[in-house]
C-alpha cells in the first residue's frame, strides 16, 4: 500500500470530522442562547409588572390601552438600558471614540470603558470557579465544594501576601498565587481521598468541607483572631509586592492581569481534557466508570487527581479576586460565587470555551445589575432570577425545544452532568 | 373466520429510519406466530405499536373484525392484548399476588383493603389451568428467572388477555426453563390463546411456532408455515444472504499451557463464595468452553481472571507468570484480551466516538500516546484500518459508538482486542443478543484466533455456541467445575444435563452420546 492513499483517506476522514463538529457546535449553542434570551424576556415581564407605574397604567387599560403598553415598554427599556450601559456601555464607548478621533483627549474614552472593564473583572473569578466545576463534571464528579475551596485559596494567598514583606514582586506574587492554588488543591483532594478510600460520596463531603472552612475562617478572621487586622474582622491588606496589578489608573476601573491568567488557564484545561492522555482518562471516567476500570485506569488515583485539580482551580478563583480586586479577605468573601459556578458550568456544558462564555455572561449580568439597581431602582434580585431561569432552561432543555419548536438533534450527547452522582 | 388480529399497512418512521414499512400481519385464533428478524429489523417497534407504546404514522389495527385505536397500554389491555417484556416489570420485594394486582387493585369497600385472598385464589386457578405452578404468596425476589417469567404470564392472563406477545422470552432462560415455557405456551394455544412470539433464534422458532413471519429492515420479507421451513432458509431470509450456521474448523493444534488456574476462590458482591475452588488449564491453540446456566459463578470467575474482581484464594498464572489479582492494565500488558459479558457497561464508552473506543485500553502507549499528548493521527489511522478490516458498519469513525447496532458494537470490541498481540482471549457471552450474521462473524473470528495459536477461554450459556466452538468443555455448576471433557466425547443433551447439575457419569448414561468411546474411557 502506498503512502499517498493512506494520507488521502485520512484527510477525507478529517473533513467528515470537521463537518460533524460544526453541526455539533451549532446545536450546542442554540439551546443555551435561547435559554438566556427567554430568561431575559421573562425578566423583562417581571420588571414591568413589579413596577407600580405599570400596574396603575394597566388598571386603566380599557381607557388608555396605548398608555399601558407605553408604560410597560418604558419600564423595561429603562431597566435593560441601565443594565446594558452599566455592563457594556457600548454607546458611550462609541461616542468617546468619536471625541478621541476628532482630536479630543483620551479621558472620555477611559471613563467610558469602565463598565466593560468592570464586567470583565467580575467575570474573572467566575471563569476559574466554572472551570473547577466543569473539570469535576467531565470526570463524573460533582464538586459542590468550590465555595469552600475558593475561600481556602483566598485565605492562603492573602496570608502569603501580607506575611512576607520585603520580597520582590516576581518572587512574592507567584508565591502567593501558588499558595492559593495549593490551598484549594488540598481542600479539594480531601473529598477525593474520602471517595477513593472510604466510598464517601463527594456531594456530601464537599458540602461538609464548605461548612468546615466557613467556620474555621470565622475563627481566623474574628477580631483578635490569628489572621485578623487588629480591631477589624478582616485580614491585613496584601502587600503591593503580592498584588496582581490593575492595568488602568482610571477611577473605578479595576481590570487586572488576572483576566489573562484566566484565559491561559482555560486554554490549559482545554488542552488537558481534549489533547492529553490524562484528559482522555478523565473523560472516560466521567462517561463510563465501569469501562474506565476495564480499561485499566487507576480510578482511585484519578478521583483524587481530579478533585485536587478542581479544588486548585477553585482556589485560583479566590486567589485572583483577593490579590487583584479586594486585597483582603473578610467573612462572606465568596458570596455564593462557588454555587453560581455550578450553574455556569452547566450553562457552558462543562466545556472550557463554554465556561469562559458563560462566565463572561454572568459577570456582565452581575455588573450591569448593580447599575440597574442604582439608575432604575430595579432590585439586583431580578438578575438572580434571570440567572436561575437560565439554569432551569438548561437543565430542562425540553422547555426551550417546545417553545421554539426545535427538533431533538439525532444522537445528541447527553450533557456530562447527568451521570454518576445522585445514584 | 376473521382473524383475531390484523395489522394493515403499518408504517412507522423515526428520524432517518423507516422502522416499519407497510407491514401486514394476520394472527388466527389459537395460533403461535413467530416474528423472526435480526436486531433492529423492526420487530419490537411493531409490537410496541400494537401495545400502544408508539403511534403508527400509517396503517390500521383490526381486532376481531373491528378497527380499533390503541393509544396506550391501557387500551391494549382492554382489547385483550398482553405483553411479556424481555426485561421483567416486577417489583422484587412484593409477593406474586401483589405484583399481579399492581395497576389493577381491587379492594373491599368501604375500607379499601386489598382483596389479596381473592386474587391469590384466581392465580392458583390460572396456575393450575395452564400448568404454570406459581405460589401466589412467594416474594418475587426469591423466585428463579423462569418462574418470574411465569408471573409475568399470569399477570397478563389475569387481565383476561387472549392475544399474548412475548418479546425474546428465552433470552434469559436456561435450556430446561425454555422447554418448560414452550410447554406452557402450547397449553395456552390449546385453550384458544393466540400468541406472537418474537425471536431471532431459528431453532426455537421452528420448534414452537405454527407460522413464521420474517422481517428485515422494516419490511416483511417472507412468511411460511414452520413445517415447510428449515433453519438455513429462515436464516437466509432473515439476513438476506446465505449464512453458515456452524463454524468450519479444523482440528486444534494444541500447544503449551497458557492460562493456569489453581484452586480459585472468588466472592460476589454479597460476599458469597460463588467461585469455589476452580482449577483449569487452557492451552495455546484450543478453545476451552465453560458451559453453565447463568448465575453459577461464571461472571465472577471471568471478572477475577480479568482483574475486575478480587481473587480470595488460589493462583492464576499466564505462561508461568503469576497474575493473581493483577490489574486490568497488567493483564493487557501480559497479552490478555477480554470480551466482556456486558458490552455496553464494561466494554465501551458509549458517548465516545468509535475511533476512541478502539484505544480505551491502549491509549497510554505509543503510537497513540506521544509523551503526555494523545496522538490523534495514529488513532484515526487505526480506526480507518479496523473499520475496514472488521467490516464495521458506521457512518464514520467519529460518531458515538452508541449510534451503532449491537452487532457492530461487539465488532468494535473484537476489533480492539484483536488489534494487539495476544496470548489469551477471555470471551464471556460474546454473541449474546446478536443477530445471526454477527454471530457467524464473531464465531469465525474466535476460531481464527485459536488457529493463530491463542488460548481461548469461552464462557457461554448458549449450548449451541459451546458445542460449535469448543475443543474441550468444562461445566460450571454452583461455583465448581463439575466436569472437563473433550468436546468430541459428549452430546448437547449430555452437556445440558451437566449444566443442570448431573455428574459426567450420570449424564453419559442418561442421554444419547455422540462418541463411540466407552463411558469408562471418557471418564
DSSP A354-389: HHHHHHHHHHHHHHHHHHHHHHH---THHHHHHHHH
Helices (H), B337-430: 354-357, 376-389, 406-418
Q: Which residue of B has its CA nearest to A415?
A: B351
Q: Are residues B130 and B233 in the same domain?
A: yes
| pLDDT exceeds cutoff 70 at A19 | no
Reported as type and span, the H/E element at residue B336 is: strand B336-339
Check B328 against A296: CB less than 8 A apart: yes
Residue with cell 455592563: A87
What band does A63 get if pLDDT is binned at 50, 70 and 90? confident
Is B433 within 8 Å of A50 (Cβ atoms)?
A: no
Q: Is residue B268 part of a domain?
A: yes
pLDDT tens digits for range A32-49: 889 989 999 999 999 888
Q: Is residue B405 part of a domain?
A: yes
What band does B168 get if pLDDT is binned at 50, 70 and 90? confident
* Residue percentage of chain B with pLDDT more than 90: 50
Q: What is the ipTM of this complex?
A: 0.82
Mutate to test the interface with A, among B360, B381, B384, B392 (most CBs of A within 10 A): B360
Helix, strand, coil in percent for chain B, rounding step 5 = 35, 25, 40
**3-state SS assignment for residue A232:** strand
Check B374 against A293: CB less than 8 A apart: no
Q: Are residues B201 and B296 in the same domain?
A: no
Q: Are residues B390 and B493 in the same domain?
A: no
Going through B64-121 in order, the beta strands assigned E by DSSP cover: 66-68, 81-84, 107-108, 113-114
Instruction: Determine the pLDDT at residue A18.
Output: 45
Instruction: Name the pairing type of β-strands B17-27 and B32-36.
Output: unpaired
Please state, in angstroms and rounded to a whole number, the distance separating the CA atoms of residues A277 and A282. Answer: 9
Nearest one of B467, B463, B437, B434 to B339, comparing CA atoms? B434
Q: How many Å separate Cα A396 from the centre of its chain?
A: 20
Q: Is residue B483 part of a domain?
A: yes
Residue with cell 469562559: A356
Cell numbers found for residue B329: 492494565
Q: Tell me, what DSSP letter sits at residue A256?
A: B
**3-state SS assignment for residue B57:** coil
Cell numbers found for residue A282: 478523565
Q: How many helices (H) and strands (E) does chain A have?
A: 17, 0
Q: Are residues B225 and B151 in the same domain?
A: yes
CA dihedral A347, A351, A353, A359 (to 10 degrees): 40
Which range (A7-11, A98-102, B9-13, B203-207) has the least confidence?
A7-11
Nearest one of A37, A135, A39, A206 to A348, comparing CA atoms? A135
CATH code of residue B326: 3.40.50.300
Q: Is residue B349 part of a domain?
A: no
**Contact residues on chain A for B361, CB-CB shorter than 8 A:** 294-296
Q: Which residue of B has its CA nearest to A285?
A: B349
| pLDDT exceeds cutoff 60 at A411 | no
Q: Is residue B489 part of a domain?
A: yes
Nearest one of A106, A367, A359, A127 to A248, comparing CA atoms? A106
Interface check for A290 against chain B (CB to CB < 8 A): the answer is: yes
Q: Is residue B249 part of a domain?
A: no
| pLDDT exceeds cutoff 90 at A52 | no
Pick the more confident residue, A161 or B176.
Answer: A161
pLDDT tens digits for range B401-417: 988 878 889 999 999 99
Residues of chain B contacting A, Cβ within 8 Å: 15-16, 306-308, 327-332, 338, 340, 345-352, 356, 360-361, 363-364, 369, 372-374, 377, 380-381, 383-384, 396-400, 402-403
Cell numbers found for residue A402: 417546545
Instruction: Determine the pLDDT at residue A50.
Output: 87
- Report chain A's mean pLDDT, rounded to a whole number: 87
**3-state SS assignment for residue A331:** coil
Instruction: Determine the pLDDT at residue A408.
Output: 62
Q: Tell me, what DSSP letter sits at residue A60?
A: T
Please state, in angstroms and rounded to a whole number, the distance separating the CA atoms of residues B39 and A138. Answer: 33
Q: Are residues B312 and B447 in the same domain?
A: yes
Q: Are residues B376 and B507 in the same domain?
A: no
Question: For residue A48, how many other CB atoms are within 10 A of its CB?
Answer: 21
**Contact residues on chain B for A6, CB-CB shorter than 8 A:** 381
Nearest to B345 among A17, A290, A295 (CB): A290
Q: Are residues B409 and B428 in the same domain?
A: no
| pLDDT exceeds cutoff 70 at A418 | no
CA dihedral B154, B155, B159, B162 (to 10 degrees): -50
Please tell me the total count of domains within chain B.
3
Q: Is residue B410 part of a domain?
A: yes
Q: Are residues B434 and B404 in the same domain?
A: no
DSSP B274-300: EEEEEEEEEETT-EEEEE--TTSSHHH
Check B351 against A287: CB less than 8 A apart: yes
Mutate to test the interface with A, among B328, B334, B409, B419 (most CBs of A within 10 A): B328
Exposed (0-12), middle (13-18) or buried (19+): which is A365, by Cβ within 10 Å? buried
Q: Which residue range forms the structural domain that includes residue B400?
A: 355-420
Nearest one of B3, B139, B148 to B84, comparing CA atoms? B148
Q: Are residues B115 and B230 in the same domain?
A: yes
CATH 1.10.3470 domain locations along chain A? 117-369
Check A16 against B396: CB less than 8 A apart: yes
**Contact residues on chain B for A277, CB-CB shorter than 8 A:** 363-364, 369, 372-374
Q: Is residue B204 part of a domain?
A: yes
pLDDT tens digits for range A138-197: 999 999 999 999 999 999 999 999 999 999 999 999 999 999 999 999 999 999 999 999
Q: Are residues B182 and B262 in the same domain?
A: no
**Contact residues on chain B for A275, CB-CB shorter than 8 A:** 373-374
A and B: number of Cβ contacts within 8 A: 96
The three-state DSSP-derived secondary structure of B427-478 is EECCCCCCCHHHHHHHHHHHHHHHHCCCEEEEEECCHHHHHHHCCEEEEEEC
DSSP A181-212: HHHHHHHHHHHHHHHHHH---HHHHHHHHHHH
Nearest one of A16, A15, A7, A24 to A409, comparing CA atoms? A24
pLDDT tens digits for range A233-274: 999 999 999 999 999 888 888 999 999 999 999 999 999 999
What are residue B14's phi and psi, to 5 degrees?
-110, 160
| pLDDT exceeds cutoff 50 at B41 | yes
Tell which of B420, B435, B457 closes a domain: B420
Mutate to test the interface with B, among A9, A296, A350, A423 (most CBs of B within 10 A): A296
Q: Are residues B380 and B489 in the same domain?
A: no
Check A294 against B346: CB less than 8 A apart: yes
Exposed (0-12), middle (13-18) or buried (19+): which is A23, by Cβ within 10 Å? exposed
Highest mean pLDDT among A252-256, A312-316, A388-392, B45-49: A312-316
Q: Are residues B456 and B486 in the same domain?
A: yes
| pLDDT exceeds cutoff 60 at A4 | no
The CATH topology of domain A117-369 is ABC transporter involved in vitamin B12 uptake, BtuC (1.10.3470)
Check A276 against B348: CB less than 8 A apart: no
Is B296 within 8 Å of B273 (Cβ atoms)?
A: no
Instruction: Determine the pLDDT at residue B416.
Output: 95
Nearest one of A70, A72, A82 to A47, comparing CA atoms? A72
**Contact residues on chain A for B327, CB-CB shorter than 8 A:** 296, 298
Instruction: Determine the pLDDT at residue A20.
Output: 46
Amino acid at each position: 500500500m502506498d503512502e499517498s492513499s493512506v494520507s488521502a483517506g485520512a484527510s477525507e476522514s478529517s473533513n467528515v470530522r470537521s463537518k460533524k463538529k460544526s453541526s455539533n457546535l451549532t446545536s450546542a449553542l442554540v439551546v443555551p442562547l435561547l435559554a438566556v434570551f427567554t430568561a431575559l424576556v421573562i425578566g423583562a415581564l417581571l420588571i414591568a409588572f413589579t413596577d407600580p407605574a405599570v400596574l396603575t397604567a394597566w388598571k386603566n387599560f380599557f381607557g388608555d390601552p396605548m398608555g399601558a403598553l407605553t408604560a410597560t415598554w418604558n419600564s423595561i427599556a429603562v431597566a435593560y438600558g441601565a443594565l446594558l450601559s452599566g455592563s457594556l456601555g457600548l454607546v458611550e464607548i462609541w461616542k468617546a471614540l468619536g471625541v478621541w478621533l476628532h482630536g479630543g483627549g483620551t479621558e472620555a474614552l477611559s471613563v467610558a470603558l469602565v463598565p466593560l472593564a468592570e464586567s470583565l473583572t467580575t467575570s474573572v473569578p467566575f471563569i476559574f470557579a466554572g472551570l473547577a466545576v466543569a473539570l469535576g463534571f467531565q470526570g463524573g464528579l460533582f464538586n459542590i465544594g468550590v465555595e469552600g475551596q475558593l475561600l481556602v485559596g483566598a485565605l492562603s494567598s492573602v496570608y502569603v501576601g501580607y506575611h512576607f514583606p520585603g520580597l520582590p514582586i516576581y518572587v512574592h506574587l507567584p508565591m502567593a498565587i501558588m499558595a492559593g492554588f495549593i490551598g484549594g488543591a488540598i481542600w479539594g483532594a480531601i473529598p477525593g481521598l474520602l471517595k477513593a478510600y472510604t466510598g464517601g460520596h463527594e456531594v456530601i463531603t464537599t458540602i461538609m468541607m464548605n461548612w468546615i472552612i466557613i467556620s474555621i475562617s470565622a475563627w481566623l478572621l474574628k477580631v483578635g483572631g490569628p489572621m485578623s487586622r487588629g480591631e477589624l474582622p478582616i485580614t491585613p491588606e496584601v502587600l503591593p509586592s503580592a498584588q496582581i496589578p490593575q492595568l488602568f489608573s482610571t477611577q473605578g476601573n479595576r481590570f487586572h492581569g488576572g483576566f489573562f491568567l484566566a484565559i491561559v488557564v482555560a486554554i490549559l484545561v482545554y488542552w488537558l481534557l481534549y489533547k492529553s492522555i490524562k484528559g482522555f482518562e478523565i473523560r472516560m471516567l466521567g462517561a463510563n466508570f465501569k469501562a474506565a476500570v476495564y480499561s485499566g485506569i487507576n480510578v482511585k488515583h484519578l478521583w483524587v487527581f481530579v478533585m485536587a485539580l478542581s479544588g486548585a482551580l477553585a482556589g485560583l478563583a479566590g486567589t485572583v479576586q483577593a490579590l487583584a480586586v479586594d486585597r483582603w479577605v473578610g467573612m462572606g468573601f465568596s458570596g455564593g460565587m462557588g454555587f453560581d459556578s455550578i450553574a455556569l458550568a452547566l450553562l457552558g456544558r462543562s466545556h472550557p470555551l463554554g465556561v469562559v462564555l458563560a462566565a463572561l455572561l454572568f459577570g456582565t449580568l452581575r455588573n450591569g445589575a448593580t447599575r440597574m439597581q442604582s439608575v432604575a431602582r430595579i432590585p439586583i434580585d431580578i438578575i438572580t432570577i434571570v440567572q436561575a431561569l437560565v439554569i432551569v432552561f438548561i437543565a430542562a432543555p425540553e422547555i426551550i425545544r417546545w417553545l421554539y419548536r426545535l427538533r431533538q438533534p439525532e444522537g445528541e450527547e447527553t450533557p456530562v452532568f447527568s451521570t454518576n452522582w445522585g445514584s | 373466520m376473521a382473524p383475531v388480529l390484523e395489522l394493515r399497512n403499518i408504517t412507522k418512521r423515526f428520524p432517518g429510519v423507516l422502522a416499519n414499512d407497510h407491514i401486514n400481519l394476520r394472527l388466527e385464533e389459537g395460533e403461535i406466530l413467530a416474528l423472526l428478524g435480526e436486531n433492529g429489523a423492526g420487530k419490537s417497534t411493531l409490537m410496541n405499536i400494537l401495545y400502544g407504546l408508539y403511534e403508527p404514522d400509517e396503517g390500521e389495527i383490526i381486532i376481531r373484525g373491528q378497527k380499533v385505536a390503541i393509544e396506550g397500554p391501557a387500551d391494549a389491555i382492554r382489547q385483550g392484548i398482553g405483553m411479556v417484556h424481555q426485561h421483567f416489570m416486577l417489583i422484587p420485594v412484593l409477593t406474586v399476588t401483589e405484583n399481579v394486582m399492581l395497576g389493577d387493585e381491587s379492594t373491599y369497600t368501604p375500607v379499601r383493603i386489598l382483596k389479596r385472598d381473592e386474587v391469590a385464589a384466581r392465580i392458583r386457578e390460572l396456575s393450575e389451568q395452564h400448568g404454570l405452578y406459581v405460589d401466589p404468596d412467594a416474594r418475587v425476589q426469591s423466585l428463579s428467572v423462569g418462574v418470574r417469567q411465569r408471573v409475568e404470564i399470569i399477570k397478563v392472563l389475569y387481565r383476561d388477555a387472549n392475544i399474548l406477545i412475548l418479546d425474546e422470552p428465552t433470552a434469559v432462560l436456561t435450556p430446561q426453563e425454555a422447554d418448560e415455557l414452550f410447554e406452557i405456551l402450547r397449553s395456552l394455544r390449546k385453550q384458544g390463546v393466540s400468541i406472537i412470539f418474537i425471536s431471532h433464534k431459528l431453532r426455537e422458532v421452528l420448534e414452537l411456532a405454527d407460522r413464521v413471519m420474517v422481517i428485515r429492515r422494516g419490511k416483511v420479507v417472507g412468511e411460511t408455515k414452520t413445517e415447510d421451513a428449515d433453519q438455513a432458509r429462515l436464516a437466509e431470509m432473515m439476513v438476506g444472504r446465505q449464512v453458515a450456521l456452524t463454524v468450519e474448523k479444523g482440528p486444534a493444534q494444541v500447544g503449551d499451557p497458557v492460562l493456569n488456574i489453581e484452586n480459585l476462590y472468588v466472592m460476589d458482591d454479597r460476599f458469597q463464595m460463588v467461585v469455589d475452588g476452580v482449577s483449569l488449564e487452557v492451552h495455546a491453540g484450543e478453545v476451552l468452553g465453560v458451559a453453565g446456566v447463568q448465575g453459577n459463578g461464571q461472571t465472577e470467575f471471568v471478572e477475577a481472571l480479568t482483574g475486575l474482581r478480587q481473587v480470595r484464594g488460589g493462583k492464576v498464572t499466564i505462561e508461568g507468570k503469576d497474575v493473581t489479582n493483577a490489574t486490568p492494565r497488567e493483564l493487557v500488558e501480559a497479552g490478555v484480551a477480554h470480551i466482556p459479558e456486558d458490552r455496553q457497561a464494561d466494554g465501551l464508552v458509549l458517548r465516545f466516538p468509535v475511533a476512541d473506543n478502539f484505544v480505551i485500553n491502549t491509549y497510554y502507549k505509543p503510537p497513540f500516546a506521544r509523551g503526555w499528548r494523545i496522538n490523534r493521527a495514529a488513532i484515526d489511522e487505526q480506526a480507518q484500518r479496523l473499520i475496514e478490516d472488521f467490516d464495521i458498519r458506521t457512518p464514520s469513525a467519529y460518531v458515538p459508538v452508541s449510534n451503532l447496532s449491537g452487532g457492530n458494537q461487539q465488532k468494535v470490541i473484537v476489533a480492539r482486542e484483536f488489534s494487539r498481540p495476544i496470548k489469551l482471549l477471555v470471551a464471556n457471552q460474546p454473541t449474546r443478543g446478536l443477530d445471526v450474521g454477527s454471530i457467524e462473524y464473531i464465531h469465525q473470528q474466535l476460531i481464527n484466533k485459536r488457529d493463530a495459536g491463542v488460548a481461548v477461554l469461552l464462557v457461554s450459556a448458549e449450548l449451541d455456541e459451546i458445542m460449535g466452538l469448543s475443543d474441550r468443555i468444562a461445566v460450571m455448576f454452583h461455583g465448581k467445575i463439575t466436569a472437563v471433557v473433550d468436546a468430541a466425547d459428549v452430546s448437547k443433551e449430555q452437556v445440558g444435563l451437566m449444566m443442570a447439575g448431573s455428574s459426567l457419569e450420570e449424564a453419559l448414561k442418561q442421554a444419547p452420546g455422540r462418541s463411540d468411546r466407552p463411558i469408562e474411557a471418557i471418564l
